[in-house]
Structures are given as C-alpha cells and as structure tokens.
Amino acid sequence: MSMQVYLDYAATTFTAPEVVTAMTPFFTESFGNPSSIYSFSERNRKAIAKARQQVADVIGASADEIFFTSGGTEADNWALKGAAWRGRSKGNHIITTKIEHHAVLHTAQFLQENGFDVTFLDVDAEGRVNLDDIRKAVTEKTILVSVMFANNEIGTIQPVAEIGAFCREKGILFHTDAVQAVAHVPIDVKAMNIDMLSLSAHKFYGPKGVGALYIRKGTRIENFMHGGGQEKGRRATTENVPGIVGLGAAIELTSGRMSESSPRIGKLRDMLIEGVMESIPHAKLNGAPSGERLPNNANFSFIGIEGETLLLDLDSAGIYGSTGSACSSGSLDPSHVLMAIGLSHELAHGSLRLTLGEEITEEDIQYVLSTLPGIVKHRREMSPLWEDYMKKIEGGR
C-alpha cells in the first residue's frame, strides 16, 4: 500500500480505541436520561460525575468548576458572552488578541457590534502577546481579558501565567482558549490564575462535538443555554453522555502519557523543521522556537507558491496537511494569524501547517522530507511569483 501520512492533528484527532470502548455502553445498554431519578440512570449520572472529575484533575480544578459544552466554540462563546452580559454594569471593555481562533474573534466582533468596546492586541513576529500591551490597554471599564493558551496555526504558547497574575491583581476576569493546549502541555488553572478555560475533546483523541468550560468558583458569568436544570441550570439540554464519557476518558488517557509523548512528538517535529529548512531554499518557519511552541506544530511559508496547490500535490502523495486553519480553508483570504505576525500576502498564501500526533513515526517524517522539497521545487518552476521573487533578489545583489 502507498504511504499515507496524516499531519493535521490540530484540525482533529482520531478517537482513541480505549475511548470508543469507554463510550460504547452509553449508546446502547445504558441509554437512560441522566435526569431521570430511577436507578436505571444511576450509571449515567455516575459516568458524568467521573468525567467531570477526570477533566478537573488534568487542569487543577475541582469537579464542580467544570461545565460540559458541545465543543471549544461553544465554550468560547459562553465565556465571552457570559462575562460581557454579566459584567456590563461594571464596564464594557474587553481585551483580546488579533490571533485568536474565530470562535473568540467573531464572538468579540459580535459583542463589539452590540455596544462593547473591544481591543484586539497586536502580537510580535513570533505570535507572542506582550503583557505590557495588555497593561496599557486596560481601562477602568475593562471586564475581561481573553488570550489563547496556544495558537492553532503557528503553535506559539502565550505567557498565560503572567497574564493571569496581572488580571487577578486588577480584578479583571481572565479567559483562555486552551483548545490546542489541553493534554498536550501542563496546565494548572489555579497556579496560572485562570478564571475560565475552554477545551475540546477532539483535539486530544476524544470524540467530536463535546468540550468543556472551566469556570472558577465565584466567577460571575451569565448562564448560556436556558431550559432544564442540567449543568446546574447553566447550560441546559440533555447531556451527551457518550460524548462526555469520551471526553473524560480521552483527557485522562492523553494527559497520562503526555510526559512521554510530548517530548517524542517534539523531537519528530524538530526533525521535520530542520529537514524542511535545510532542503527547501527560502523556506520560512512561522511561530516561536521549540520551547515556546506546541510540541506537535510546524508551520512554514514557501515564497512563490500557493498553499492550496501545495496541499493538493501533497494529497496526491498521501500527505494530509493544511494551510491556515481547517475552519477557514475554502476562504481565499490569507490567514489572520499570519497577517498579524507581519507576513506579506504572498508568504501568508504560501503557508503550510503540519501538525503531528500519536501515530507519527520517524519513517513518516522521512517520507515527508523526501517528498515535499520536490513538490515545492516543481511548483516554483511554474510560478511567475517565484520568478519575480528571484529577479528581485538577484537585482538586489
């Protein structure tokens, strides 16, 4: 069989077989509604309680601070809209960054259209937010700071603990979208002074369509879905029991092997980065150096090439990557993250994100390194953009 290498784990992961096994009984024999008081539903209630504890344990929270959602997008929406709605008598100013996932960015824009004043902070060339910029942006009306834990496109990890300490001191709520970070890097919501944190199961070998919002005890935000009494009446709807069980099983499984798997994946990622930078002329690595970057993320720009055509060529070779984030592929606009770190349109359009996961081997990386340079070379030979670029360089000599 020809090689197939999936390198889009930041878009989504497979569901681990152990996780599927844990979920299965809750589709079939244990299907009772957890809100029903008969003993038949007892197993479901207990399973939800166990999952809540599993999530809490991994991020240093207590179980009653975990609220299940339909995924990262919903958790982000709840955090921002909930904090804005509840905090509006105190102030209407929100601080976030230009490199957030659209789940935060578009929610912040919605709030802006509805009377809130939002500051979208710049980041540096490696995608890092500067605490001083947050400090300067704060006014007496600031009610919320939302800064992602790690970026989904370029993998840069933010100085979350510093931001948390600052916000706590100022009495401003601090939310972090940790969808790409949970179970991949250590997180302690208490030590990092995080008031709200979003996570999503399908980024760590759990099922799609389930996530959670951590809400620190005492944090005043509005309830999200009105209806029944589920999730303490804060997020109504009959619980997605198999999904919640899957989330719990996946977070325990993935974080349990993190100390072994993250360094292993990080080494393969570094091998990929070094190989690409050595074998492809004029390649650019986007994002921060290894220590401040998610262990599974590599993001490059190849001047003279369209990311979309690169993806198609890679697809033909059995390699699956992405350009920008999966959610925005199909759009012709360059990635807002790559623009925010100062890339030209040409470089942003020529970007390739490769994200590694549990099943990636050295052989897979070797295969990519033996395939990608030829594809880039071939595409550049046909590219007027590349020709112009070379002329510019040669003219500048």
Strand stretches in the chain, DSSP E: 5-6, 66-69, 93-97, 117-121, 142-146, 173-177, 196-200, 211-215, 283-285, 297-302, 319-320, 351-355
User: How far is Cα 112 from Cα 27, in angstroms, rounded to an integer?
Assistant: 41
Residues in the interface with ligand PLP (CB under 6 A) total 14
**Cβ distance to ligand PLP smaller for residue 357 or 373:** 357
- The amino acid at residue 233 is G
**Does residue 194 interact with ligand PLP by CB under 6 A?**
no
User: How far is Cα 251 from Cα 57, in angstroms, rounded to an integer?
Assistant: 9
Question: At closest approach, how far in Å is the CB of 327 from ligand PLP?
Answer: 6
**Does residue 254 interact with ligand PLP by CB under 6 A?**
no
Handedness of CA 80, 83, 85, 87 (dihedral sign): negative
Exposure on the CB side of residue 17, measured as CA atoms within 13 A: 2
Q: Catalytic positions, please?
A: 327
Question: At closest approach, how far in Å is the CB of 68 from ligand PLP?
Answer: 12
CA distances for 209 relative to 212, 243, 250, 251, angstroms: 10, 7, 13, 15
**Does residue 211 interact with ligand PLP by CB under 6 A?**
yes
Q: Enumerate residues 76-95 that contact ligand PLP by CB under 6 A.
A: 76
Stretch that binds ligand PLP, among 1-9, 65-73, 111-119, 367-375 (CB under 6 A): 65-73
Contact string 323-352 vs ligand PLP (x = CB under 6 A):
----x-------------------------
**Cβ distance to ligand PLP smaller for residue 71 or 307:** 71
User: How far is Cα 120 from Cα 245, in angstroms, rounded to an integer?
Assistant: 36
**Cβ distance to ligand PLP smaller for residue 205 or 386:** 205
**Does residue 297 interact with ligand PLP by CB under 6 A?**
no
**Does residue 180 interact with ligand PLP by CB under 6 A?**
yes
CB 211 within 8 A of CB 196: no
**Does residue 179 interact with ligand PLP by CB under 6 A?**
yes
**Does residue 207 interact with ligand PLP by CB under 6 A?**
no
- Closest to 335 measured CA to CA, from 314, 352, 312: 352
Question: At closest approach, how far in Å is the CB of 69 from ligand PLP?
Answer: 9
Contact residues: ligand PLP, CB under 6 A:
71-73, 76, 101, 103, 148, 152, 177, 179-180, 200, 211, 327
